[in-house]
Amino acid sequence: MSKNQSSQSSGLMKLAVAGSAVLAIAAGGVFYYATITKKSAGDEKLIPIEVGAKACDPMNLTLPSGFHSFEIHNRSDRPVEWEILDGVMVVEERENIIPGLKSILRAQLMPGEYEITCGLLSNPRGKLIVTPSEHSEASAAAKPDTRAFIGMLSEYKVFLAMQSNAMLKGAEALQAAIEAGDLEAARVAYLQARAPYKRIEVTGGRFADLSAKIDPVATYLEKREDDPAFTGFHRIESGLWGANSTDGLALFASQLTADLSTLKDRLKAAKLTPDMLLRNTSSFVNQQAEGQILSGDNAYSHLDLTDISAKLDGVEKTLTLLQPLSEKPAANETKTVMAALQDLRSTLAGLSAGEVTRSYTDIDDGARKALAEKAKALSAAISKLAAAIGLE
């Protein structure tokens, strides 16, 4: 290990130790807070969104702050995604909405001006204006003292830093292997870069501008694989597994390294809050249930099981760090979350059957649906836990 690497590892360890100390002190300080009552499923009002080939209907929305449920109807002939964006940050999203079908997106929206994506990434964006209401005032008053979560957030930042380092190291190895024309070494390095990226995707994937370059799926691009915006991991995957070659991939590998370096810097500077982290985690797990788990994202390598496992590593990290803080004020909810997590882990392990690179094409629709239901159960449990400790 070099002197710089040793110094960096030492610094990260000191931060982790300091975070753990604060966490231990703060663990006794978490207690119940007032929360905003959601409408029951039977009472919820669905806001219809029609997504066509070129635009949404409506393209402009104005809503009061609070909880809202959107019914997104895909009227195009391609699978689509629908996102609510705050600048470059994804607030909420639904992916892989099948043509002709509808998907429900539930979001807690605070006052501000947002953009909405409408199907293909090249389509014009709509506008969502959220006005102040009694909900936003009550929500602000009900938030817990975030000082109790300093330790948790400090340790999570260390996790982000370590995974970012591994991600970038893998990307550099991938770039070198591609430039050398070594197909097998490139495939190994690809997985070494992708796994840590997926472990932090619950946070890193919220940067919409970078996500659109690092991990776009060809389905969401107008010209699919021939689209100039088809870059990043999946573009490289299509070469390494689809074409079984490194030819023409050097430029994409170089750009991926640069984009992952930018992501690393953004994550280092990111200001995280416990409510944001837990809400994002619940939404992320549900998104996986409705997206990759059912349909798969890796059209060329079919290594979706490794993706899903890495994503679950990141989710588990958040929940494990939160557990000392939530066990006392929300014992039942914490127990339910951890049980749902282990249930999902066990089911996933059964599908892998000891082979981490098992092709997702071997997993039938019934098994995928069963795994998706486990993920939905975990998402719902996380949401209830967040509400129980005043973080939703």
Residue-wise pLDDT for 260-318, tens only, equals: 999 999 999 998 988 889 989 999 999 999 889 999 999 999 999 999 999 999 999 99
pTM beyond 0.85, yes or no: no
% helix, strand, coil for the chain, step of 5: 60, 15, 25
Contact 102, 51 (CB under 8 A): no
Please name the CATH architecture into which domain 12-30+145-388 falls. Up-down Bundle (1.20)
Q: Where are the domains of the chain?
A: 12-30+145-388, 46-139
Mean pLDDT of 381-385: 95
Q: Assign a CATH topology to domain 46-139.
A: Immunoglobulin-like (2.60.40)
Give 3's contacts (C-beta < 8 A, 6+ positions apart): none
Q: Reading across the β-sheet that carries 112-116, which strands appear in turn?
A: 60-64, 126-131, 112-116, 80-86, 89-97
The pLDDT of residue 45 is above 60: yes
The pLDDT of residue 30 is above 70: no
The pLDDT of residue 29 is above 70: no
Give the pLDDT band of residue 148 (cuts 50, 70, 90).
confident
Q: Does 12-30+145-388 match 46-139 in CATH topology?
A: no
Give 72's contacts (C-beta < 8 A, 6+ positions apart): 49, 51, 82, 94, 97, 102, 103, 104, 105
The predicted-structure confidence for 93-142, as pLDDT tens digits, reads as follows: 888 888 999 989 888 898 999 999 988 888 999 999 999 987 666 555 55
pLDDT value of position 145: 62
Using the structure block, give the residue that is written with the tokens 């014009």.
124
The predicted-structure confidence for 188-225, as pLDDT tens digits, reads as follows: 999 999 999 999 999 999 999 999 999 999 999 999 99
The pLDDT of residue 362 is above 50: yes
Torsion over CA: 240, 289, 274, 150 (sign) = negative
pLDDT value of position 330: 94
The pLDDT of residue 12 is above 90: no
Average pLDDT value for the chain:
87
